Structure 1
């Protein structure tokens, strides 16, 4: 069995652990992630987590490999619109974004700011570049795609198969965050 990796919000009141390797580490540039990221990063005391070009770095883990250890009473969800299929969850103690969850998804997209800077996973790919403003220049250090790549979806499918097609519910979120 692999050792758990401890993670937490900036002030340490919310703590979680992940087991094993992530599904994938990606930087998203979709309109929703950039808009939500700008709003969340503007909260008082929120950590700086957006890339210089507006991208948000996520480390995707199977839901059954994420454990919440402390501070779940401080977690609140934020949705861009009431009918949005995604929710972003924030530790309200220090306004650290914790995860993004897709409705009926089997994984959590954990914000990479939960890792200490020295151990932060390196992105393997950039996605959703078609949503960027014309003329945006990005570094060429990792594969980048206008949409999610076949490799991205294959990794998600492989994780879901390994989970026996289960979709665990995340019930540690208490209330809504108005941003």
Structure 2
């Protein structure tokens, strides 16, 4: 693996290693989200016995945002289930049923995939650059000022998303898996 982010390939896997996702190139951003949706999903995902933790102790969910045109499912797509908080939600989460591991979150109308940072080996995982949606963090949680804390998606994050979208020719590819995957 190259040390250069432009050519680096990172892999995210479920806890047991059955499901694997490759991500090529420099990520859009490494963020921790505190929105109600991420907290609700995390509270559900963290319940099954043996499931890996999704939420951090402060209620945040760390993600690595990557362009959809730079991902490839390497294995285990037949083990993926789709989780939506509401049937009509534009946000779906990919969960490996083999070991109850959340892998990624897709905003279906967007051009990026938010990969759960905990699914990426620590030595290949970029450090969180910013916290977002902190206005929705759990009551009583005080966050350090070691990185930027944003009440809502910041201009910097939105700019990076726009630049990535432009580099993709303003396309929003669909995340495809096997034919048995619920769409």
Q: Please state if 1:31 is matched with 2:36.
A: yes
Q: Separation in 2 of the partners of 1:149 and 1:143?
A: 9
Q: Tell me how far 1:113 sits from its aligned partner.
A: 1.3
Equivalent residue of 2:126, what SS? coil
Instruction: Name the residue aligned to 2:182.
Output: 175
- TM-score, length of structure 1 as denominator length: 0.93
CA root-mean-square deviation: 1.5
Instruction: Name the residue aligned to 1:9.
Output: 14
- TM-score, length of structure 2 as denominator length: 0.91
| Unaligned 5+ runs, structure 2 | 1-5
Q: Please state if 1:82 is matched with 2:92.
A: no
Q: Tell me how far 1:132 sits from its aligned partner.
A: 2.1
Q: How does 1:24-173 map to 2 (within 5 A)?
A: 24-172=29-177
Q: Separation in 2 of the partners of 1:134 and 1:50?
A: 15
Equivalent residue of 1:139, what SS? coil
| Unaligned 5+ runs, structure 1 | none
- With 147-156 and 137-146 compared, the bigger mean Cα shift is at 137-146
How many corresponding residue pairs?
176
- With 130-139 and 20-29 compared, the bigger mean Cα shift is at 130-139
